[in-house]
Structure 1
Amino acid sequence: MINFRFVKYLIFIVLSIVLIASCNDSDVTEKNPSEPLTPVEVKGYPNGQFIATSEDLSESGVVIVDARGETAYNEEHIPGAVNIMWQEFVDGSTNLLPVDQLEEVLGQKGLTRESKIIIYDDTTASWGASGRLFWMFETLGCEWVKILDGGWDKWIADENNTESRGNTLNPATFKAVVKTDKTSDKAHIKSRLNDSDFVVVDTRTDEEFNGWQLYGEARGGHITGAVQLPYAWYFKSDKTVLDYQDMKSLFESKGVTEDKEVVPYCTVGIRSAYAYYLTRLMGYERSSNYDASITDWADSDESFYPMEKLANYQKLVYPKWVNQLIEYHKEGSLSSPPPDYPYSRDHKYIIFETQWGTIEYATSYKSGHIPGSIHSNSDIYENDYPRWFLLDDNDVHQAMGNMGITEDTTVIVYSDSNIFAARLWWILMYAGVKDVRYLNGGYQQWIAGGYQGEETVNQPTPVMFTGSVRPEYIATVDDVFYSYTDTSNVFLADVRSYEEYIGEISGYSYVAQKGRIPNSVWCHDADDSGGIYVDSDGTIRSYTEIMKLWNGFGIHSQTTPVPYDSSSANLLGGGGMLEKELIFYCGSGYRSALTFMYAHLMGYENVRNFSDGWEGWSTEYRQDDNCTDSITPGWCQDPSGRPIESGDES
């Protein structure tokens, strides 16, 4: 006899098992995936939905990805985070692995294309690791991916909880839907270089852009025609990303606008991937990342994949280079010399911090300086008040000897004022020192690079200077007077403020005369606060931008196509002769020293600095205690009698 009650119970059990199995299968295959992120404005960004805050980490089903190195992750991480590094997804050429291999690795990590992913790293120290993963996930079709604003830096600064216990996810199945428009290669970039709606963006440091080969690149420099937007500029002081309007202004100031196709690159596509992330935040519709980046480009046929670099980039050094120099010369050191430094350990070098005033007034130096550096008072190379003109050659050499300089000494100069550093750099170059280098960004960049300073006051050891001046680097009053009318052969560049140029002000409290030298062309104020020649981080502006600026004023090399053509290899900074002799002037030779240095770094040979400047051109000083001139008590300022112009030419 059949027990129907038992049969009903058995059927119930079987159906329950089937239903449970069905539910479990649904969880594994994620047939109900997360919805794509809805566009929302955060920090002003049109696509702010890609920015995560700490509150987003508690959202149901979120996978927190720590993109830092394994050591950092094992020490401390955000609770619940799993460690996934970009290095796990590249081949020997640092390109992304084939899709099937990516799927396998990501599946083993417990991720699916439908996962909700929030990535963090330690921002500037990770050089774009979070952006690299964001770009990879988008390339593979993931639609719910965010980056934690401020990353690990802000998490710790906000005193949030951490853990050291490692976390893993159960293996899953990752099935990619590849978006090929997210990745660029060299062939595509080459085909688009001359198009007006295309821009290639170099996200590396100044030194890499200029020509230093820091990571084994086959060639130094940058892709011809690239604009520079260094990765370090994308963040606020608290390591959160800049607000939209600031980021938009930054990108647009370099010509990177949303109506163009934008392709960032770096060394191997990491920093550039973060720049890609920024274009997504800003709503750019045509952007991609150059995977493998300059490593790939530089290793290719240089006749077909051109690069350009600063002709004399070796004279513009960076903090790591200076630190290597110091370590190399330490007694008993076994370290290697810095790049492009051909000297033995017993070769003499000096680092100068320079500014106005004796050591009693050297507040910047005394508050902290590069270890071993010496303060150089700008006064020692100039006449007494009120004429800040360069001393006679013999007196300049005497002053240099007193500072311990010989013609064979390697000298590195820096200052918290670019024009003061450039002035000393130019004086030493003019006076005949063979190896003078300029620390780009000065002490600010030294500290930003993680190096320590000191407050010890270091003194020079006087020596005898022997050497010859380089008269081709200087323009005297007589030189300018006999050539200012020769506009077919001489270009006279005024780099004072526009108010000085038109004669509205003299620019100096102790100078009475106003106006400009006739036939001179205003080429923007080269002062530190002028905003044209110096970037906000204290480094000098990209030389390619300055050359384009000058090109617009009419300063051309003999090989420069006019108008500018970005397809010409080594067009900028290639050196040689300009179409006309170029003479820079300002008030008394400081600002013009900076622009002279730019031209010299670019390799141009027929460039001079009018060191006495407007003051020397316009004014004759006569010492007289009875002089009624209250601007310079004890001195009369008489007009020189040389011609002047004033007024707005526009």
Structure 2
Amino acid sequence: MKHVVKSMLLMMLCVLLLAGCGSSVTDKTANKAKLAAAATEFPNADLLVSADSVQQSLQAADLLIIDARSASAYAAGHVPGAINLQHSAFWTKGAGLKDTDTLAAQLGAAGITREQKIVIYDNTTASWGAAGRLFWMLEYLGSTNVHILDGGWDKWAADGRPTQSATVTRAAATFIPSVQSSLKSTSSKIASRLFDNDFAVIDTRTDEEFSGWQLYGETRGGHIPRAVNLPYAWYYNTDKSTIRYQQLKSMLESRGITPDKEVTAYCTAGIRSGYAYFLLRLMGYGKCSNYDASAWDWADNTSYPMEKATNYADAVYPAWVKALIDYHKPGSTSAAPPQYSYDRNHKYVIFETQWGSFEDMANGWADNSYLLGHIPGAIHSNSDVYENGYPRWFLLPDAELKTALGSMGITPDTTVVVYSDSNIFAARLWWILKYAGVTDVRFLNGGIQAWQAAGYPTETTINTPVATTYTGATKPALLATTSYVESVYNTTAKMVDVRAGSEYAGMISGYGYVVNKGRIPGAVWAYNADDSAGIYVDGDATLRSYEEVKSLWSGLGIDFGQETIFYCGSGYRSALAYLYAHLMGYTNIRNYSDGWEGWSTNYVKDDAYLASPSVPGSTDGWRQDPSGRPVATGGL
């Protein structure tokens, strides 16, 4: 009996022990992070993890969360359990990462080991790639289990997920690096590979930096030759989640950044480019790196070439316009914007331009963007002011044009900034003012969309100009009249048509009030320059990289070795093409302001024509007589 009882007691003890062991195993499993991909279509989808999976893993013992934002942002609230780590602690300006021993000591002091499972986040566009920079650094040092939180703090907070404000620290650890040297690019490496067809460079900076503006103390402005401009802000959706596979694939491969190439990315200090490195890894690119010393390093070495748009300063950016406004405020002590040499008393005007008057807008006959909100102090410039009006829309004769400019408060030495929600409208006014002889005319790249994206305020106050007398001299070399085009189109000049393909081919005229169809014989089609076509303008409403446009033109045989004349229907789309060529520094260029409308027809005023028109055409007493000028149709 004693043996039976003893056996039963032993069995019960084993059951209890086994149950305890089972519970222990279950607890350990439950205490491990179970991260899930935010988007499964990426080749390396596990690198970008969902907020749901991170939230479900907050108590996991094997998960380290790094908040890469500023110390003040971290203190105001962060993901529970996250430690705070700034990328700036790990590099030196112009030199890149600190030495490996120092990095290892710093990471160990923060409680990080190379074997840990790590999720990093920042506040996306406001952090300029901080999470990507730390991701790259950790992979460079040999970490193999590093991830980035999709949407960062922005989306985490917007979705109402849990937060805490107490500072989190971890016990010191030992970080043993295993350097992956191929992940870190250098100036000498880039210089040695720059012109190889299987090598590509991504410039993640803004349009303005790429074009030539020196915004952060660079020794020289511009970009590394052959670099492809993919601005960091493009990497996110509106909710701050990372753009998805197909969009990213198209962005990269349409610009020659293909998986078979070795690809390196750079910016000013290797921060924004750190996130580009992460995206390349996410996309499964096998040979990618970050140039962590970036433009601060490259620009300092004058033996390395840099390229920029010759007249880059004519295309300004929102912060430049904001600085212009602040500089000229009464009693201001603000610094003048770069590439602006005037004193505080210098006259400047900002124009928002569209078709239509305030009455037209109020009655729904014209774009009412100005009434809905415009840059503070901006004046609406109705395009009708500078043109003959329906049905011709031709530029006014010089004397009348000067009167129109005076009515808008413009003098030859006035600094004028033009913008719109339409690049072709802004470019048209920019070109008109250049032709009229205004010395300092600036085009706001990205228009009102860029201004608002930068977080700057708008107003709805209607500002009116103070009329003056315009005394400037026009610049005939900028304008191609119909008679001038007749004399050169088939001899000394290259005609470049930037209308829609169907207009170029003669399938449609493109305008309800224009009857004749076709193109000027010998003209090359350089794609539709309208904003909606997406050829000359990027999705964020900014100008396409001038290097991409230059390459596009080169592929069409447009080399500016001879005088080049741009035309469209009536001088708007062609003004945008002219702007590009001007920014590139070409001087043997003209805008055929009357365009196809001027070439294809002669407009004759005939009041009797309204009674019984015999030729299809416009109304209001204007009829279109055949011009007798040669016309070509068909083909692209």
Question: What is the rounded CA distance, in whole Å, between the counterparts of 1:385 and 1:640 in structure 2?
Answer: 19
Matched residue, 1:485: 490
Residue identity over aligned pairs, in percent, reads 57
Matched residue, 1:156: 157
By how many angstroms is 1:36 displaced?
13
What TM-score does the superposition give when structure 1 sets the normalisation length?
0.89
Question: What is the rounded CA distance, in whole Å, between the counterparts of 2:543 and 2:495 in structure 1?
Answer: 22
Q: Describe the shift of the 1:92–1:484 C-alpha distance in structure 2 as closer, same or farther (beyond 3 A).
A: closer
SS at match of 1:288: strand
Matched residue, 1:66: 67
SS at match of 2:418: strand
By how many angstroms is 1:56 displaced?
2.8
Q: Which amino acid in 2 is paired with 1:435?
A: D
Q: Is 1:331 equivalent to 2:302 in the alignment?
A: no
CA contact (8 A) 1:627 1:636 kept: no
Q: Is 1:586 equivalent to 2:568 in the alignment?
A: yes
Matched residue, 2:622: 635
Matched residue, 2:246: 245
Q: Describe the shift of the 1:619–1:198 C-alpha distance in structure 2 as closer, same or farther (beyond 3 A).
A: same
Q: Describe the shift of the 1:94–1:128 C-alpha distance in structure 2 as closer, same or farther (beyond 3 A).
A: farther
Q: Kindly report which structure 2 residues correspond to 1:345-356, keeping only aligned pairs within 5 A, or say none.
A: 345-356=344-355
Q: Is 1:139 equivalent to 2:144 in the alignment?
A: no
Match of 1:544 among 543, 547, 561: 547
Matched residue, 1:463: 468
Matched residue, 1:620: 602
Q: Is 1:117 equivalent to 2:102 in the alignment?
A: no
CA contact (8 A) 2:37 2:48 kept: no
Match of 2:580 among 598, 623, 634: 598
Q: Kindly report which structure 2 residues correspond to 1:168-247, keeping only aligned pairs within 5 A, or say none.
A: 168-247=169-248
By how many angstroms is 1:94 displaced?
5.0
Q: Which amino acid in 1 is paired with 2:558?
A: I
Matched residue, 1:165: 166
Matched residue, 1:574: none
Match of 2:534 among 531, 544, 556: 531
CA contact (8 A) 1:43 1:244 kept: no
Question: What is the rounded CA distance, in whole Å, between the counterparts of 1:631 and 1:263 in structure 2?
Answer: 57
Question: What is the rounded CA distance, in whole Å, between the counterparts of 1:267 and 1:600 in structure 2?
Answer: 26
By how many angstroms is 1:42 displaced?
2.9
CA contact (8 A) 1:39 1:47 kept: no
SS at match of 1:223: coil
SS at match of 2:552: helix
Matched residue, 2:432: 427
Deviations 1:470-506 (A, max 9, x none): 00000000001111110xx311101101100010000
Deviations 1:434-470 (A, max 9, x none): 0000000011100111111111000000000001000
Q: After the TM superposition, which segments of 4 or more aligned residues of structure 1 sit over 6 Å from their partners?
A: 34-41
CA contact (8 A) 1:40 1:46 kept: no
Matched residue, 1:78: 79
Question: What is the rounded CA distance, in whole Å, between the counterparts of 1:64 and 1:39 in structure 2?
Answer: 15
By how many angstroms is 1:638 displaced?
1.4
CA contact (8 A) 1:43 1:243 kept: no
Q: Which amino acid in 1 is paired with 2:618?
A: T
SS at match of 2:350: strand
Q: Describe the shift of the 1:438–1:508 C-alpha distance in structure 2 as closer, same or farther (beyond 3 A).
A: same
Question: What is the rounded CA distance, in whole Å, between the counterparts of 1:539 and 1:394 in structure 2?
Answer: 34
Question: What is the rounded CA distance, in whole Å, between the counterparts of 2:317 and 2:536 in structure 1?
Answer: 18
Deviations 1:516-570 (A, max 9, x none): 01111111111111111110100111111111111111121xxxxxxxxxxxxxx
Match of 2:457 among 416, 429, 452: 452
SS at match of 1:582: strand
Matched residue, 1:390: 395
Matched residue, 1:52: 49
Q: Which amino acid in 2 is paired with 1:343?
A: Y
Matched residue, 1:359: 358
CA contact (8 A) 2:265 2:290 kept: yes
By how many angstroms is 1:632 displaced?
1.6
SS at match of 1:375: strand
Match of 1:368 among 346, 352, 373: 373
Q: Which amino acid in 1 is paired with 2:200?
A: V
Matched residue, 1:257: 258
Q: Describe the shift of the 1:482–1:630 C-alpha distance in structure 2 as closer, same or farther (beyond 3 A).
A: closer
Question: What is the rounded CA distance, in whole Å, between the counterparts of 1:295 and 1:51 in structure 2?
Answer: 29
Q: Which amino acid in 2 is paired with 1:583?
A: I
Deviations 1:182-229 (A, max 9, x none): 100000100001100000110000010000000000000000111110
CA contact (8 A) 1:485 1:519 kept: yes
Q: Which amino acid in 2 is paired with 1:520?
A: A
Deviations 1:107-126 (A, max 9, x none): 11001001111000000000
Question: What is the rounded CA distance, in whole Å, between the counterparts of 1:176 and 1:607 in structure 2?
Answer: 57
Deviations 1:30-85 (A, max 9, x none): xxxx9999997934101011011123324322111100000000011111111011
CA contact (8 A) 2:506 2:518 kept: yes
By how many angstroms is 1:91 displaced?
2.7
Q: Kindly report which structure 2 residues correspond to 1:311-322, keeping only aligned pairs within 5 A, or say none.
A: 311-322=310-321
By how many angstroms is 1:627 displaced?
4.3
Q: Is 1:305 equivalent to 2:292 in the alignment?
A: no
Matched residue, 1:608: 590
Question: What is the rounded CA distance, in whole Å, between the counterparts of 2:221 and 2:368 in structure 1?
Answer: 38
Question: What is the rounded CA distance, in whole Å, between the counterparts of 1:542 and 1:155 in structure 2?
Answer: 33
SS at match of 1:184: coil
Q: Kindly report which structure 2 residues correspond to 1:283-302, keeping only aligned pairs within 5 A, or say none.
A: 283-300=284-301, 302=302
Q: How many residues align?
A: 591
Matched residue, 1:508: 511
Q: Describe the shift of the 1:122–1:38 C-alpha distance in structure 2 as closer, same or farther (beyond 3 A).
A: closer
Q: Which amino acid in 1 is paired with 2:570?
A: S
SS at match of 1:475: coil
By how many angstroms is 1:323 displaced?
0.4
By how many angstroms is 1:384 displaced?
2.1
CA contact (8 A) 1:310 1:601 kept: yes
By how many angstroms is 1:631 displaced?
4.3
Question: What is the rounded CA distance, in whole Å, between the counterparts of 1:536 and 1:80 in structure 2?
Answer: 38
CA contact (8 A) 2:409 2:465 kept: yes
Q: Which amino acid in 2 is paired with 1:640?
A: S
Question: What is the rounded CA distance, in whole Å, between the counterparts of 2:532 and 2:40 in structure 1?
Answer: 28
CA contact (8 A) 1:35 1:144 kept: no
Matched residue, 1:520: 523
SS at match of 1:529: helix
SS at match of 2:516: coil
CA contact (8 A) 1:129 1:270 kept: yes
Question: What is the rounded CA distance, in whole Å, between the counterparts of 2:542 and 2:132 in structure 1?
Answer: 25
CA contact (8 A) 1:404 1:461 kept: yes
